[in-house]
Amino acid sequence: MPANKNVLAFVMAGGEGSRLHPLTANRCKPAVPFNGKHRIVDFVLSNLVNSEIYSIYLLVQYKSQSLIEHVRQSWTMARFIPQHFITVVPPQMRHGPAWFQGTADAVYQNIHLIESMQPDIVAVFGADHIYRMDVRQMIDAHIRGNAQATVATLPVALGECDQFGMVEVDDDHRIIEFREKPRSVRPMPGSRTHALASMGNYIFNADVLLKQLKRMHESGETDFGKHILPSMVKSHKLLAYDFATNVIQGTAPYEEHAYWRDVGTIDAYYQAHFDTLGAQPRFRMTNKHWPIYASPDQAESAQIENGVINRSVVGSGSIVDGAILDHAMLRRSVTVERGARLEHCIVMERSRIGRGAQVRRCIIDQDNDIPPDVRIGWDLEQDSKRFHVTPSGIVVVPAGAFPARNSAAATDRYGVDVDTHRAETAPPMEALA
């Protein structure tokens, strides 16, 4: 990325995440925990900071308090460098009493931030994907191609085109058509089975973006994927950036090349966790050349009294006492008592798995005290009467479904990474999801 280019980033973190319910009952999707100590938003923020993009506005709306607290605790930039910041921006209603109506409207409502900073380039990125990306390489391609807007893309099977914004390109990677979640689309050049999907990450020349946002507002349009980008195809030079060409130093040979997951559903979220497990995972969370930063961890080390543990993560402050963990992922301060068995499970903060409990293919949200000898994941018909069960058979136990046995509510001794916020009145805005 040329050193003389001034880049401002907007991260779209306002989506409701209804398909991740009940994990999003009391938090927005970017704030949903991931792996042992991260949250989903940490991936995009780490990618931007590692790419030396330090001017970042995080646009929030739906049930945002836990996300705001996470950013405050985990993403404090140096105060003596004015243009190094990650700032959370809720709807300010500067242009009328309306919440963000879509991704483009969210940026338009904060157009003064662009005008006051006067960047050369504006990056608009989503907040709910699991991946590593050097954004500088995308910006370099944007500048080399003399583009006015560039869309990060990757191949997806034709049968999945109705889940993404789909682009068609010519031989020079110029976008000749952009359609949001079409029923069908022509294959990409050189393939009969795949087409190019938008990753929801965009690079704009700042002057072009400002004009498009003002035009959009006058015409009543609200979204990048549905309105702005399709309308720019014929009047501007739009390029498709091939994510598969993005190179991250330190990526191991056994990792999946160009790993990227949209974790917008319970099934996708669940599977992405297990892509990170093992000695040779599809996506390795640890990379010293490109770290994914997490919230500060002041908890004591995990304690393993005894038991059998196979391909699992045990978070700090957790205790495993004579239990069996098989493909289990424990976040902070989780206790698994003697004789309990967890198979392909995700267990979140401050939860306890009681003596002899048998749990499989389950996500247990925070602050749950699973009683002794309970069986979850074995009789899905019975489980569905109490919990959310996906069509593939993953059981989701909501936060606090099983209150603590010894106190009215579980607490976090260390005061970190806590979701305490409850339902807010902002309307859902899945366009930002």
Binding positions are 165, 180-181, 198
Query: How far is the C-alpha of 407 from the C-alpha of 93, rounded, in Å?
Result: 42
Query: How far is the C-alpha of 224 from the C-alpha of 124, rounded, in Å?
Result: 10
Residue 241, both tokens: 């950036």
Query: How far is the C-alpha of 351 from the C-alpha of 330, rounded, in Å?
Result: 9
Nearest Cα residue to 122 out of 98, 99, 138, 144: 138
Query: How far is the C-alpha of 236 from the C-alpha of 34, rounded, in Å?
Result: 38
> For residue 150, what is the enclosing H or E element?
strand 149-157
Query: How far is the C-alpha of 348 from the C-alpha of 34, rounded, in Å?
Result: 9
Annotated binding site for alpha-D-glucose 1-phosphate: 165, 180-181, 198
The CA R_g of the chain, rounded to the nearest whole Å, is: 22
Query: How far is the C-alpha of 82 from the C-alpha of 85, rounded, in Å?
Result: 7
Nearest Cα residue to 16 out of 97, 127, 122: 127
Output DSSP code: residue 113. Answer: H
Q: How would you classify residue 118: left for phi > 0, otherwise alpha for psi between -120 and 50, otherwise beta?
A: left
C-alpha distances in angstroms, 183 versus 56, 158, 233, 261? 35, 9, 20, 21
Residue 349, both tokens: 């903060």
